[in-house]
Structure formats: structure tokens, C-alpha cells
A and B are shown apart, each in its own frame.
Chain A
Amino acid sequence: MASPLFVRNEMLPSLPPPARESGVVKWLRENLFSSALNSVLTVLAGLAVLWLASFILPWLAHGVWNASSVAECREKVAASFGPDAAGPCWAVIRLRWNQFLFGLYPQAEYWRPTTAAALLMVSLSPVLYYGLRRAALNITVTMTVLLVLALIGLGTDWLHIAISVAIMLALAAVASVAPKRLLWLTLLFPFIAFFLIWGGPVWTAVGALAGFVIFAGVWFLAQKSVGVVVGAGIALVVASLWWTSLQGTVTGALATALPWGLPYVVSDNIGGFLLAFVIGITAISASLPIGVLLALGRRSDMPLIHSLSVGFIEFFRGVPLITVLFAANFLLLYFLPPRTNFDLILRVIIVVIIFASAYIAEVIRGGLAALPRGQYEAADALGLDYWQAQRLIIMPQALKISIPGIVSSFIGLFKDTTLVALVGLMDPLQGVTKIVRSDNAWKGIYWEPYIFVGGIFFIVCFSMSRYSMYLERKLKTDHR
């Protein structure tokens, strides 16, 4: 007879969780229907999404890519999807693609901004992913492929394609051997891009570059004996002497002796996203160092420097960008010697740089204020002088704290490049879209160009904000 005692001596296999506590049901219960209010919200939100989708999805599905006017486009939609169907007319983007990208840039020279764009991405790689070989190589190779495809698509002659590919392959080799060396390309890029986009004799860009080399050389030599600030002042004087009096003669002589160069492109012809990127990237890269200096000036012990910085920052933060742009358009000529006149794009870029640097300065001041006093005192205790302390201790931490603010200033700055249309430049939003919409064939079209332009702005700005999140994660040193 078996014993009445029962002792289980092996574990039972665990039962599966009840149906309402696992899988999709559990997720739905927790995330969508956790309470009465939440259920109502879910239903309302779901209805809203469905309602929007019922308009947008059929509309998107009825796109037409081949048409020469709105009327033809509407006919095609009606012919293939029924008389009541509505659909987007992407044909306008296809036909006006070049204008959206380059404005009125001469067609034969499209390869120049395209190459500049590829070089831009490569020279950004050491800034964005410093010393990461795989990232640098990936970017360079991708850009080479894209550049070749774009150049073939633009119908460039084979000589230029071969030269571009050779340069890109050389850069790829640099990226694979010593990715940090690409930083030299970054330093040279402004001059290369200026030469490629505006053209003219190559010596103009070289002359401007020589001025910067002179500045750096003199500063390096002088700062050891007289200090950073005085050294910079001396270097600036020497470099200005070169730019104002010597450069013109030297580059002029070189240009007659060795007439190398590209056909000159008038600034008025530069438009579309090319213009937005030229203004945006110049202003972004120049406003950061100026902003740092302004922020330091605002925290300076020297009363004159402090009050000048405060006045500058508060003035430019207090007035809208449009008024500053109009001042550049109307007033700048009053403040310069009579009968001087210089390029509107250059004036606009200078004004946007000044404007953006005031905002960056405030962001960085916030970062500086957030640093504990101990950091400053520790730097002093180590015997570092002011600039060493700033470079080695203060700025790395302050900039790290201010990354989100800096990047959102950059995003704002890039979005603000659309405002240059109001002083007569041809930006993608107002300038080009207006031209497209005033064409008789495309009268009454509005969703398609605005979706296209907005989409590109969205991609650029969204990737900037994602990159800032990546950078914050990468630089995070605290343990949580």
C-alpha cells in the first residue's frame, strides 16, 4: 500500500502566464487601456490617426511623376485612379529639381557645387567622428559613389569625373590609413569650397588662405613671449596687412603668370539649397568660435571687455533677424566708405554669423556658469594660466554641458536661412518655390513644393538633433 504521505521531489515546470498578463494583450492593457481615461484617449487618438490616414495615404498612392503641367497631372490622376481621386504632382519636383538645388547656377558648372558637397561630407567626418576609421571610410566611400552617380546624372564630361574620383579615392586612402589626418581637409575646405562655388582664378582662394597661414604662424611665434591675446592682436595686424595691401598685387601677378581657374559665377545666380547650405554651414562653423570668445568676454574681469560683450550680445538677441538682415541690406552701405559695395551674400553671411554668435555665447555662458567653482580653483592651483585653464579644464566641460543648447541654436540658425529670401536672395522656400508657383504651367500647386522643401529641412535638422544626442551619450562620463 502506498504511503499516504506525498512529497514531491522534483520541480513542476512553470506554467505560462495567464493570457491577459502576457504578450500583445498585456502590452495593450498596460500601454493603451490602463484606465478609463486612457482608453478614451486611445480611441480618440486612433480615430484621429485613421482620419488623417484616410486622406493622406490614398493621396500619396496617386502620385504622378511624369507631366508637364498641373492640368496634365490632374488628368493623369483622373485617368488612372478615377475622376474623384486626388494625387500629388511630383513631376514639378522632377522638372524643377536642378532649380531647387542650385537656383540659377549655370548648368554646365553643376559639377562644382556637387563636388563641393561631397568634399563637405568628407571634411565633416573628422569633426563628427574624430579618429573613427570605419566612420571616416564609410562616409568617404559612400560619397565617392554618390558623387560619381550624381556627376553622370548631371552629364559632366569624363575628365572632370576622373579628376573628382581620383581626389575622392585619395581621400579614402587617407581615411583608411590615418583618419585623423582628414582634419587638414576640414581646415582647407572653406577655401576649396569658395573656389569651387564662386570660381575665378585659384589664386584668390590661395591668397586668402595665405593670410590665415600668416596669422597662425605669427600668433604661434608671438604668443610665447607676449601672451595669447597680445600675440593674436599682433598676428591680426600682420595678416590684415597681407590681406589689404599685399594680397591683391601678389595674386594679380600670379593670375596673369599662371591663369589657372574656373569660370566666375555671379552671386545672384547662387540659390536653392546650395544657398541655404552655404549660408548655414559658414554661419554654423564661424559662430561657434566667436560665440566662445563672446561668452568668455562676458565673464571677463576687465570691465570694458565685459560691458562691450554684454552690449553686443543683448543687442543682437533683442532684435529680430529680419531687421538685422534689412540693416545689412540698407544700412551697411551707410557705414562703409562712400562708393564701396560688396556682395549681398557675403553681407548676409556676416550678419547671420554675428547674430548666431550672440545666441551661442549665451548658451556657452550657461555651460560656464554650470561648472562648479572647484574646477576653476583646481586649474588655478595647478598653476595653469588663463588660456591653458580654459583650453584644458574649463572649455571641454562647459562645451559638453552646452551641447544640446548649441545644437538647437544651430538648428534654429539653419532654419533661419530661409529668411534671406526677404532681402532678395533666392532661397529654396521663398525664392525658388515662388518662381515655380508663378510659372503658368504649375499655377495653383502648393503641397508638393512645400512638402519637398520642408522634407529636406526636416531631414537635416532632425539628423542634427539625433547627432547631438549621440554626442551627449558618447561624452557622458558620469555613472548612473
Chain B
Amino acid sequence: MSLADPAPKAGFRLSQLIYDTRYRSYTIQVVVLLLLVAVLIWLVNNTIANLAVRGKDINFDFLWSRAGYDIGQTLIPYTNDSTHGRALVIGLLNTLLVAVLASFFATVLGVVVGVLRLSNNWLVARLMTVYVEVFRNIPLLLWIILVFVILGETRPGPKDFKVTPEMTAAGQEPAASMWFWDTVAVTNRGTNIPRPLLEHGIGSFEILGVPINLSVIATILVLIGSVWVNRILLRKATAVQEATGTRPTTWWKSLLILVVPVVALLAAMGLHFEYPELKGFNFQGGILVFHSFTALLVALTLYSATYIAEAVRAGIQAISRGQSEAAHALGLRPGRTMSLVIMPQALRVIIPPLISQYLNITKNTTLGMAISYMDLKGTLGGITLNQTGRELECMLLMMLIYLALSLLISALMNIYNNAVRLKER
């Protein structure tokens, strides 16, 4: 065998730009760059020309002008005299509210269903399979609309809840009654739930027109403090266990630490509830939860829970049988096998799809548009867009906000992934 001929020393020829693999990639990139610049210039030119034809400009000043429309569900004060910018914030908060609640409920339901699907109980496993397959294979939009239509068209109107003296005399029941010991009324207009009120709250102050309730903050601080103290307690118990071999009983101490301070604080502030009552033709008092919110929340929860259930099932199945057998061989009881051996490993598999499911839930809240839920798509991308006619600005702003939300959630996922990654080699 002879050695390969040394590379030809001839100088650079122009044809090498195409034929020589060393230079071809540069040629391709330069051509792509030129094309990209050309396309961008073309797009910008077209946009300028189109804006000129329509007599518009790119201007975000409309965010500070009067919105002039009402929004049913508002988490912070809003009237139709508020600005479009405030309507945007209302929409974003509504999006986040339904996304966070749906993520929470879907996780709870999904974990239960995922575990039950692996159960060796034939009937339960089959039932869960049917649930998962039915909800996964039918569009989410159908579930949202179906729940909304059922709530709006089958529930009785407020007048059906009325109990007149004649009816009491005749011993008749009203056509409909409230649920949960007369605290919750589901009518065809919405769900009326009790409103928590404080007798003597600590008060509140405003930042940028957003009222910050000090009582809520105090409650949250106390909760965080209790959890922190509880963690110290548990750490001490573990230290005692490691030193002596017996773990001191902690459950009642934990319970006391977690429950008593919060209850005491709430009692001191005089927590009570204002219950919805039928007055005239409608329910007064309490909080009216719109059906668009309920339907979106219920449908998103039921739909996304199936995906979470599948992720949980896949995660648990991904742990090889040898792990649980080894744990049994070490003498661990089934509960501890699950919590100390299987779960820590399964979580590594479960969490990434779980977080991308949260991402999907956030994006899917936009489907609330079909039932007029006032999320970001409904305020900024809906009424504001139609009223101001600023399609370009509204759409770009909306896409940017959703993109920022997604990137934020992905960044959290990456941080978590790096933290729990198996450190090999």
C-alpha cells in the first residue's frame, strides 16, 4: 500500500467554492445570508408600502388610550375608562390564572390516573385506559365547547331557585337548589361561590393602580414561615434518626406548626364568608365565576391530565424491575420502595414532559377564544385589535408575550434538567 498522495499545492481556484467540501459550506452560508437579507428587505419594503397604502404607521401609543370596553372577569380593578394597556394586563392575568389552576388540577388528576392505569386491578386499569384514550383522541376545542354549552344550556336560570311562600305552604320543592349546604349556586349565567371577607384586615396599598392586599401577604408570609420551621423540625428528626436509629414521632408537631399559626392569623383578622343569595331575579353577593372560565378550566384539566397520566405511567415503567426487586431485597417496605427508590428515578423521566405539558396548557388557554374567555387573546388580540385596527402591533406584542412565557417555562425546565441529570464520567 502506498501512502495517499499529498494534497495538491495548487492555489485556490474559484471552482473550489462549489466542488471542495472545505469551502462549500462557506459558499452555502454566504448564499443563504444574502437570500435572507434580500427576503428581509423585501418584507420590510412590502410592509412599509402596505402601511402607506392604508395610511397607518407603527405606533404603540394606543396602549395608553381609553379602552372603552368592559371585561367580565378582572383580577385587578378595571373599568371601561381604563387604558388598552391595562386591558392587556387583565388579559395576561386571566391567561395565567386559568393556566396555573389547570396545571395544578391536571397534575393531581394526571398522577392519580397514571398510577391507577398501572394498577393490577383489571377494572380500574381498563376504566383509566378508556378515559385516557377518549380524551386524548378528541380535539380539546370540542371539550371546551361541550362543557360550555352544557353549563349554559342545561343549568336552570336563577328564577328556578326561588322559593315562594306559596310553595312552602304547598310543600313544593323549587325546580333547582344550591349545592354544598346552600353555598354554591350553578345557574345558566355562571357559578356563584362564597366570597371570603375579613372583619379587620391589615389594609392594602396600591402600586401602579394595582391594589396589594396586606392581609393576603401576611397570610402567605406566615405560611412560608411555618413550612420553613417544619423543615427544620424534619431535619432535626433525621439527625436524631441517624444518630440513634429511631425516628422521633413528628406528624403531630408538623400538623401543629403548619395549621395553627395560619388559623390563628385568619381568626384574628376575622375571616368570614359572604354567601350568594337570590335577590329579585339574580344571585347577589359572593363571587360570580363565568362559565367561560369554568368550561375552559374543566376541559383543559380533563384533557391535559391524560397527557400527564401517560407521562407518569411512562416514567414509572421506565424504571427497571431490578430496582424494585433490589429495594425489596434490602428489606424496604412497598411504600418506602416507592418513595425512596422508584420515585426519585422516575421523576427524572416524568418532569420534562410534565413541564412541556404546562407549556402546552399555557398555549392552549388561547382556545378560550371560542367561548369568549377574556384572556390575552381576547383583550389584546381581540377587542383591542378590532377597535384600534392596529393588527401589526397587537399581533406582534401578543406573540412576543406568549414567546416570552414559553421561553421562561423552557428555561425553568432546562435548569431543572441540569440539576437532576445523572452525573456520569
- The verdict on B221 contacting chain A, using a C-beta distance below 8 Å, is no
Pairwise interchain contact A323-B123, C-beta atoms closer than 8 A: no
User: Of all chain B residues, which has the CB nearest A276?
Assistant: B139
Known: A334-B391, A335-B47, A457-B137. Is A322-B366 also a contact (CB below 8 A)? yes
Contacts of A422 in B (CB 8 A): 369-370
List 5 interface pairs A-B (beta carbons < 8 Å), by A numbering. A308-B36, A334-B51, A415-B139, A430-B370, A457-B137
Q: Which of B29, B119, B141, B145 contacts A305 (CB 8 A)?
A: B29
| A275-307 near B? 1/0 per residue, CB < 8 Å | 000000000000000000000000001111100
Contacts of A230 in B (CB 8 A): 18, 24, 27-28
Pairwise interchain contact A326-B46, C-beta atoms closer than 8 A: no
Cα of A304 to Cα of B146 in the assembled complex, Å: 47
Surface stretch bound by A, among B172-180, B276-284, B401-409: B401-409
Nearest-Cβ distance from residue B403 to partner chain A, whole angstroms? 4
Pairwise interchain contact A301-B139, C-beta atoms closer than 8 A: no
Nearest-Cβ distance from residue A448 to partner chain B, whole angstroms? 12
Nearest-Cβ distance from residue A148 to partner chain B, whole angstroms? 30
- The verdict on A68 contacting chain B, using a C-beta distance below 8 Å, is no
Which 8 A/B pairs are nearest by Cβ-Cβ distance? A318-B406, A31-B122, A461-B137, A320-B363, A415-B139, A330-B391, A318-B403, A320-B366
| B134-149 near A? 1/0 per residue, CB < 8 Å | 1011111110011001
Which chain A residues (51-70) contact chain B, with CB distance < 8 Å?
none
Contacts of B49 in A (CB 8 A): 337-338
Nearest-Cβ distance from residue A444 to partner chain B, whole angstroms? 6
- The verdict on A416 contacting chain B, using a C-beta distance below 8 Å, is yes
Known: A331-B392, A429-B142. Is A338-B50 also a contact (CB below 8 A)? yes
Nearest-Cβ distance from residue B13 to partner chain A, whole angstroms? 15
User: Of all chain B residues, which has the CB nearest A317?
Assistant: B406
- The verdict on B289 contacting chain A, using a C-beta distance below 8 Å, is no
Pairwise interchain contact A302-B402, C-beta atoms closer than 8 A: no
Known: A226-B19, A302-B25, A461-B136. 11 other contacts (CB 8 A): A38-B120, A38-B121, A41-B121, A302-B28, A303-B29, A319-B363, A323-B395, A330-B395, A415-B140, A457-B142, A462-B137
Cα of A337 to Cα of B42 in the assembled complex, Å: 9
Pairwise interchain contact B139-A446, C-beta atoms closer than 8 A: no
Pairwise interchain contact B32-A304, C-beta atoms closer than 8 A: yes
Pairwise interchain contact B24-A227, C-beta atoms closer than 8 A: yes
Interface residues of B (CB under 8 A from A): 18-19, 21, 24-25, 27-29, 31-33, 36, 43, 46-47, 49-51, 53, 119-124, 127, 133-134, 136-142, 145-146, 149-150, 153, 363-364, 366-367, 369-370, 377, 381, 385, 391-392, 395, 398-399, 402-403, 406-407, 410
Surface stretch bound by B, among A42-50, A76-84, A154-162: A42-50
Nearest-Cβ distance from residue A329 to partner chain B, whole angstroms? 9
| A385-410 near B? 1/0 per residue, CB < 8 Å | 10000000000000000000000000
Pairwise interchain contact A337-B137, C-beta atoms closer than 8 A: no
Pairwise interchain contact B145-A450, C-beta atoms closer than 8 A: yes
Contacts of B402 in A (CB 8 A): 318-320, 323
Known: A38-B121, A337-B49. Is A458-B137 also a contact (CB below 8 A)? yes
Cα of A458 to Cα of B143 in the assembled complex, Å: 13
Nearest-Cβ distance from residue A43 to partner chain B, whole angstroms? 9
Which chain A residues (315-368) contact chain B, with CB distance < 8 Å?
315, 317-323, 326-327, 330-331, 333-339
Pairwise interchain contact A418-B139, C-beta atoms closer than 8 A: yes
Pairwise interchain contact B119-A41, C-beta atoms closer than 8 A: yes
Cα of A419 to Cα of B142 in the assembled complex, Å: 10
- The verdict on A454 contacting chain B, using a C-beta distance below 8 Å, is yes
Contacts of A327 in B (CB 8 A): 395, 399
Nearest-Cβ distance from residue A71 to partner chain B, whole angstroms? 16
Contacts of B137 in A (CB 8 A): 411, 415, 457-458, 461-462, 465
Interface residues of A (CB under 8 A from B): 30-32, 34, 38, 41-42, 45-46, 48-49, 226-227, 229-230, 233, 301-305, 308, 314-315, 317-323, 326-327, 330-331, 333-339, 385, 411, 415-416, 418-419, 421-422, 429-430, 444, 446, 450, 453-454, 457-458, 461-462, 465
Known: A31-B122, A41-B121, A450-B145. Is A322-B369 also a contact (CB below 8 A)? yes
Pairwise interchain contact B121-A337, C-beta atoms closer than 8 A: no
Cα of A32 to Cα of B232 in the assembled complex, Å: 43
Pairwise interchain contact A336-B46, C-beta atoms closer than 8 A: yes
Known: A34-B120, A429-B142, A430-B141. Is A333-B25 also a contact (CB below 8 A)? no
Cα of A214 to Cα of B172 in the assembled complex, Å: 82
Cα of A339 to Cα of B149 in the assembled complex, Å: 41
Pairwise interchain contact A233-B145, C-beta atoms closer than 8 A: no
Contacts of A30 in B (CB 8 A): 120
Contacts of A38 in B (CB 8 A): 119-121
Cα of A318 to Cα of B410 in the assembled complex, Å: 9
Pairwise interchain contact A454-B121, C-beta atoms closer than 8 A: no
Pairwise interchain contact A334-B47, C-beta atoms closer than 8 A: yes
Known: A318-B407, A320-B364, A418-B139. Is A301-B19 also a contact (CB below 8 A)? no
